[in-house]
Amino acid sequence: MFFVLIRTMLRKFIHLAFNLLLLLVVKAGFSQSISFSPVNLTFTNPILTTSADSAVVNLTNNSCGFIHVFYIYSPISEFKISDTSGFWIAPSTSKSFRVKFKPRHNIQYNSTVLMHTNVGDFSFPVAGYGKYVEAYYDNTYNKFDEALKTSLNTILGTNFLSFSYNAARDKMFMEIDNKKVNGQGATQNTLECIYTGRLAVGYIARTDCQTNSSFNTEHTWPQSLFSSSSPMVSDLNHLFPTDDAANNYRSNNAFGMVSSPSWSNGGSKGISTLFEPRDAQKGRSARAMLYFAIRYNNPAYGLVTFFGPQESILRTWCMQFLPDTIDRKRNEDIFAYQRNRNPFIDHPEFLERITSIANTSVAPSKSLLWCDAQQINNAAYVYDSINYKVIVYNNGNTDIACSQIKCSQSQFALNAASANFSRQAVLEISLRKLLNATGNIIDTLIIENNSTTQPTLKIPISINVNAIKIIPNKTSILATNDSAILTIASNGTVSWNTGGTGKSLVVRTAGIYFAYITDSTGCHHTDTVTIILGSNGIKNSALKGFSASPNPCRDFITVISGSSEIEHFVFVNSLGQKLASFDTNPTEKTQLEVLNYPSGIYYLQSANGKGVRIVIRN
């Protein structure tokens, strides 16, 4: 079960193959608050697993307020972020950080970098390619399960040299495991029993060591299972020196953990049906067994019946007792002699990409749901065009169906009611706050899906909605050379659409006036005030007979001027830029198409002073 979990976690990192990654993005104001350059980061050249590469990513604050980046992180360790301690970005300025890529496998990595800020969470994709330094394993690139097993089997059999049993034993006793020859510092021929640690010292030949020091050759995969046949009987990748007693007691028993031994020596112990090597040998015996299973892949040799029940503990030992310099030197010496290697010495992590060795290897289907946003909790303002975006990634290895996406109290409009996700697919669920609602808005985003962990994902929403108004908040009609003072009750920094600043603004010309407020919660938009030139003092803005509907709108606005004469209207955006103009007929309705305008706040006003604020939802 341990390696099934590890295997599944690796799939998450490679094929984005673990689960649904749900991350909340809050976009306040009138544009995307933060932009990335590059918009996605790909390390195009393969990076050796023994080295690393890095690249710079620039963040730009496109909003009118300061953005506090609390932290930046990657959900997988192969991508690391240089600056994760937090920083501020002033409006219209940029900040850079570095992404470091250090792969562990010779595979393609697809992931994401997540950033948490005071205006929401953001992400951008990252990708890279890992490569092993040994060309020997080039054919295993980006392979998993049966494809990887087949590739390794082919590699291990290619150019393999088979020797006689005596020749192989001579090589092992006199060179490969001889501590005088293999660099381990002995001054005379010295051999160590892998199970007990007992030394044979001063022998002059293999036969001398066998006869006078009672040493033998251990076939880690018992030779009785393959009838002592070649080339298995002389394959040095699973042969080791042992003393006679330990060799006899191990016999052809399976490996495992022994709690009440009937035999023990030097840390190894056993009972009549089970044998546990000492810790110094556990990883080596495990890797020898794993090698044999991949190299010969033959049920007739006990692949399923003998190796199968041991596979879990052998996987554990392989990763718990990792290869050391002695293992790597032995692997090189064997390669120089018989021209093949033990891949689990070079790269124990191959196990993370193989679900089963004894049986057909198929990655288990996983559709786990993980939500980064535990709740949507923020301050908003009634006149803001604020969107809450929930970005859903299917990072699993199976398709996921979201049968229903909704808000339980219908306080927010959604852009999707259901969705099907193939793996690596992306869906943006936009929750648009309904305009002109004030107070504390409570709701719950619900995503019904067929994942195995959270088939019903619920994200609480709590938005405190306030109204920022300009005083007076009615249309003012000014006499010639008259003026009006507009004021805003707010603790934030005020910037008017005319370019003025401060909480009060003196106006002497006709037009539509509004302001941006920047405070601790971000950048917000106020109500609007229309100033009209005339001589009748202050009037209510709802002029008799005039209407523009529907409002909010998506496709068209129908305008009735309420005038007995032809009247000229201008349609402008929130920056006062003219987008369209038209004349109304006193006896007919006039339609203005707005389908191609982005969502936001617009204004419709006539030459005679009629005006209305228009909300477009597209």
For 254-294, the pLDDT digits (tens) are 999 999 999 999 999 999 999 999 999 999 999 999 999 99
Check residue 573 and report its DSSP letter.
E
- In whole angstroms, give the CA distance from residue 615 to residue 71: 35
Per residue in 368-420, pLDDT tens? Answer: 655 556 667 665 555 555 556 676 767 677 888 888 888 888 777 787 788 87
Q: What angle do CA 174, 178, 182 make, to 5 degrees?
A: 110
The three-state DSSP-derived secondary structure of 436-502 is CCCEEEEEEEEEEECCCCCCEEEEEEEEEEECCCEECCCCEEECCCCCEEEEECCCCEEEECCCCEC
DSSP state of 226: G
Side-chain half-sphere exposure of 256, counting CA atoms within 13 A: 18
CA 366 to CA 104: how far, in whole Å? 22
Q: 87-95, long-range: CB within 8 Å, 24+ apart, which pairs?
A: 89/34, 89/59, 89/60, 89/61, 90/61, 90/66, 91/61, 91/63, 91/64, 91/65, 91/66, 91/518, 92/60, 92/61, 92/62, 93/60, 93/61, 94/58, 94/59, 94/60, 94/61, 95/58, 95/59, 95/69
Helix axes 311-320, 2-14, angle to 10 degrees: 70
| pLDDT the model gives residue 608 | 62
Give the range with max mean pLDDT: 107-111, 165-169, 474-478, 604-608: 165-169
Closest residue by Cα to residue 527 from 613, 433, 432 = 613
Q: Are 390 and 414 in contact (CB under 8 A)?
A: no
Distance CA 472, CA 466 (A): 18
Domains, in order of start, for the chain: 2-132+366-466 (2.60.40.10), 146-353 (no CATH), 468-539 (2.60.40.10), 542-618 (2.60.40.10)
Q: Strand, helix or coil at 280?
A: helix
Q: How far apart are CA 12 and CA 373, in angstroms?
A: 19
pLDDT for position 538: 30
Distance CA 561, CA 457 (A): 49
User: Dihedrals φ, ψ of 41, to 5°?
Assistant: -115, 120
State the chain's mean pLDDT as an integer.
82
Does the bond joining 460 to the residue before it have cis omega, within 30 degrees of 0? Answer: no
Report the distance separating Cα 206 and Cα 216, nearest Å: 9
Residues 104, 319: Cα–Cα separation, whole Å? 14
Higher pLDDT, residue 551 or 490 = 551
Of 226-230, 286-290, 477-481, the range with the lowest mean pLDDT is 477-481
Run of H or E including 507: strand 504-507
Please report the pLDDT score of residue 27 as a whole number. Answer: 33
Mean pLDDT, to the nearest integer, of 467-488? 62
Query: Is the pTM of the predicted complex or chain greater than 0.85?
Result: no
Nearest alpha-carbon partner for 597 in 29, 30, 12, 21 = 30
- From residue 354, alpha-carbon distances to 133, 135, 351, 382 in Å are 21, 21, 5, 55
